[in-house]
Amino acid sequence: MPALILLAPGESTEYPTGHGRIRFRKYGDVDREFVRAAVHAAEPSADGETRVALATLRPDAYPHAGAWLAAVAACAPAVADHRNPEAAPGSVRLLARMTRTHANGVPRKSDGSVSWSVPGASTRVWPDGRVEVQRAGCVVLAVRLEGSGWDSARVAAVADAGLRLLCAPEARHMTRTSQPSGWAWSSLWAGRSFDAASEAVCSCGWRVMAASRLGARGAAAEHVRKAFAGPPVE
Ligand SMILES: [Zn+2]
């Protein structure tokens, strides 16, 4: 990834990723500069469109730009088009893993955007494909996702990636467990059956099913213990 701080205003550069290329261009002057980064899909659409995302980065965000844009490129649809993303902010919020709980529902602003936070960072997703991730209001990763191939799961993965970059260390492994479905009428058994199974989910993407909620909580605690113990030092 190029060192964005070294680009001169008006200069551009290009960087290939495993998924498509990223094109950077610096604007402004020395005191008020920013970089626009266009993420391109590997395959052009029928009319030649390849851009799937356009990010705006101020100097505070330069150290995170490489990891952020690589994640955007990895989540991007394979083919670009000129239509708007098909993601809905509420669904993005429900699919996101970097979130503590879904229990309080999904509050929506009058512009249709939805925001949520984890320790140290917050994100907001708009219906037109804009995604912003902030750390304490200073580092801002801002991107506009372009093309109908952006569904809610892909947009959630972009928000997750940004939150993982900017969050406090403890937010990288926030676990929750699902409420067991409990008693249910079963036509198969002509009676009631009890389902105690519970899923443990972590903000890092780890998840596991357990036979009971107690089991799920135990598995989650074990996952966090291992995560913070870290890999052996080489
Ligand atoms: Zn985890």
Res 188: pLDDT: 65
CA of residue 123 to ligand 1 center, whole Å: 19
Lowest model confidence (mean pLDDT) among 30-39, 41-50, 93-102, 185-194 = 185-194
Q: Above 90 in pLDDT, residue 56?
A: yes
* Packing angle, helices 152-166 and 62-75, rounded to 10: 160
User: Do residues 110 and 46 touch, judged by C-beta distance below 8 A?
Assistant: no
Q: How confident is the model at residue 183 (pLDDT cuts 50, 70, 90)?
A: confident
Closest Cα to residue 178, out of 90, 92, 89, 103?
A: 103
Neighbours of 156 (CB within 10 A): 24
Q: Identify the top-confidence range among 45-49, 86-90, 184-188.
A: 86-90
Q: How far apart are CA 125 and CA 164, in angstroms?
A: 16
CA of residue 224 to ligand 1 center, whole Å: 6
Both structure tokens of 122:
């917050």
Q: How confident is the model at residue 159 (pLDDT cuts 50, 70, 90)?
A: very high
Res 208: pLDDT: 95
Rounded average pLDDT over 103-125? 86
Q: How confident is the model at residue 216 (pLDDT cuts 50, 70, 90)?
A: very high
CA of residue 226 to ligand 1 center, whole Å: 9
Q: How far apart are CA 35 and CA 33, in angstroms?
A: 7
CA of residue 173 to ligand 1 center, whole Å: 4
- List phi, psi (to 5°) of 17: -115, 175
CA of residue 217 to ligand 1 center, whole Å: 13
CA of residue 62 to ligand 1 center, whole Å: 26
User: Do residues 94 and 86 touch, judged by C-beta distance below 8 A?
Assistant: no
